[in-house]
Structure 1
Amino acid sequence: MSIHYCSEVIQDLQKAFESCDDYDVIIIAGEDQQEIFAHSFVLSTRCSYFKRALSNDWEERDDDGIIDYDQYNNEVILQCLVAADELGLNKLNEHIQEYLIDNEEYLHKDPVSTLQIVGQHEPFENLKDYCLEVISEEPRILFSSEKFTLLDKSIITMILQRDDLNIEEIDIWESLLRWLFIHYLKINKDESSWSSEDLSNVKQTIKEYIPLIRFYDISKEDFYLKVYPYKELLPQDLLSDILRYHMVPNATPMLNFKSSRNRKFDSVLVNNNIFKLFIKWIDKKDNKYIGKSTPYRFILLLRGTRDGFDAPKFHQLCDGKDATISFARIKDSKQIIGGYNPLHWYQNSTYASTNDSFIFNITDIDNLDTAKIGRCNNPNNAVYYHPNYGPTFGNGHNLNAQGNNWHTSNGNAYPNINLSGNFAIDEYEVFQVVKKI
């Protein structure tokens, strides 16, 4: 005679489940992360998935445990980083962060998604610091992104707090407004269409960001055209002091606002990408320059509109200095021309010999593909010194600076880089190039 005890066994199992006695598995499920206590014997007996998951053979390796990150896009790699963190895979977490740091192009392709993820996970602190440093050097990869308005408030605050953000303050102000109006407030940027309620909401929302903007570093023209239309958003004492600062000769700020940002490269002509191109040329590297920090410091010695364009001023400020790079903007264009001299400048009307100098022509500074470099092929006539000339390269000369006019000819010290004739320039700069120790 057979006796069926199925119902009693089920009842006993239910009691064990409800009492959580002797549980050895915790399952976390649902949006509220509810903990479910279970028994591995029951799970593995009744479910093939748990039988495998709870066995010693759960771990499965493909390609001998080697991950080829190059097969995956930025989104997938970031998802793997989050998963590694949640699963406590610390070594994998470290490796993914190292890979992203060594392959900076991922940040360039999608800076917003990268920042959103690394900014929300404390274990990604190193990667977050690196991302913020890169963006501080090249803020336009973030500020010009179509996804910029999707950034979280905490990320915007982190960015605006940076003292080394290498971008004009007026661009920061306009980007902040764009983010506020589209992402946060979802109202029209045209202040004339605002209701009193709209104005109140905007003032309340922007209030915490006002101290992060260096308003005194915005030119009076930009302030009048791009900030003053939103004067209702500024505290009255700040507005009055900025107006006094711009209207009263030799006035200094009275309010205790943040000091000017320390821009990495103090140039009004070229951006960080151009400086990285210069570094690549100076180091004679064909590969794209990628690094957490640049191997050189660029110290501004002369700016034409600030110091003058004449040769005596050039020699006063630049003679006797180590390696320098000089460049000028052709009037009413985006074209930059110039040259690199690894030697000192002097006034003694003679040629100097070097194999490391070069001249260059960048037709459009917004497009690095238009850049051409000419390396010296006649080292005995690489650089020319003269008391009446600014930076001059090659015999003939391949590139010659005389005040606001720069000239090129068919000299034979450098190859043709599509420069010919005379150029009127409206700005030029000379930087000393110092190798970091």
Structure 2
Amino acid sequence: MRMAGGPGDVLSQDNSIFKNLQSIVQLISDLQRLYEDKDSADIEFVVGKEETRVLAHSLIVKTRCSNYNELKLAYGQRSMPGKLLVLQIADVNVEEFNSVVQYIYTGRINLNAAVVFKVLALALEFGISELKLTCEDHIMNTMKENACVFLSSAFEGRNDRREAFREEAAVFVDKCTTHICEHAADCVKSSAFLRLSKECVIHLVSSDYLGMKEDDVWRAVLAWAKHQANVTSSPHSWTDGERQLVGQALRDVINHVRILLIDKQVYAEEVEPTGLVPLELSLQRYRYAALPDTFQPKEPHLTPRAPAPFFKDSNLLTGKNLAFQQLLNNWFGKPSQMWRRLYLASANSYSAASFHECCDGIAPLFVLVLGSSGQLCGGFTDVPFVRTNGGRAKYSTTDRAFLFSLINLIKRPATRFNIIKKMFAIASHPEFGPIFGAGADLSIANNCNVSMECYSNLPHTYDGEGASSTLLMGGYNFTVADYEVFTVS
């Protein structure tokens, strides 16, 4: 008698999987042939200004596209019995349209930065949900290389005739902007930045979160304006005509450069020789140098932009939360310290074991915790978590550890809670993630995204103004949307 689960069963299972894959490949091949069979087609799409004919089969399109009936109402033309149903879609590129129709049959498509937003628009209009997700994944996975290209496409999409795509494009404008602001030094050096529309450049340069010094903001917009004007020479050798062309390109953009914050030597050597700064801005700069006390420090043109990100690749300290990076560095005691991420809970199944594998024995550490309702809190330790045997916690001592609340449900400002019982600063437990305090003041459980074993007993080992067990995460027990751990870079 053969034992179940033996080698024969494994081979049989592998063979079955292989045959199933073969069947899927064959099905895709058959559907490709159907796509190419125009004689049996019963729908004719008339596409683009050239009115190119694209033929398809109504049964396939109806099955795969949830908006089939809406398409017929929007674009359908009367057809005689026995004749093709004709749908005329004028403002669509034929090549992208063909690729979407082929996807409807085969589930295959080649995406690149130039076409992905156009394909996304068609996926939304046709109601092809899996293609929509494929496009969104492609955009996010290639954002690093194509952020400026995507921003340009998303900006155009905000004016699209289709409401669903306008809404999707607006979401990606925000995502692209966040990425560019956090990686500004790299993005402004790309050729895609030089090709951005004036509207896009103003959008970026007017942001408080563009992570660059104002000297570099000026250099970036000047390089952009020279490219737009097709001028390659340096300002010292410009002709009057070239200066005028660059000035026209910079018009409306230069008002968003914070001229008063540019270093005086850079201004004298790089800005003033261009002759492009409007007289009013130039006089304002001289007045500011002579009488700085007459200016309000919170005036927009005197407000420094958020610094370049100190917490590299953070998922939680982005966008409007970017300013918290500087605050954490100030609390750490080194305003310009760079940090690298050791651990992201959502990328590691929220596992306590993976937290210890990635983080034990390393210090200093910042732990950042995101709550299910947007709370943002965490802790700092200059001593490491350690591996322990058995099911007991091991405490580590320091007087430098602290907890903090950055965003809370009662809208209390960002607050730091210092340690008052240094013997119990942090605890290492094999079945828990990071633990701060013997209370514990902040304890992150295994599978913290679903486990209500996470809890906060603040104040116990840590204390400060406004400390309570509900401040950090909104309740004594809670679940965690995500958390990440950083150490010095």
TM-score (norm 1): 0.50
Return the index of the structure with the highest Cα Rg. 1
> Bigger relative contact order, structure 1 or 2, given CA contacts below 8 A and separation 6+?
1
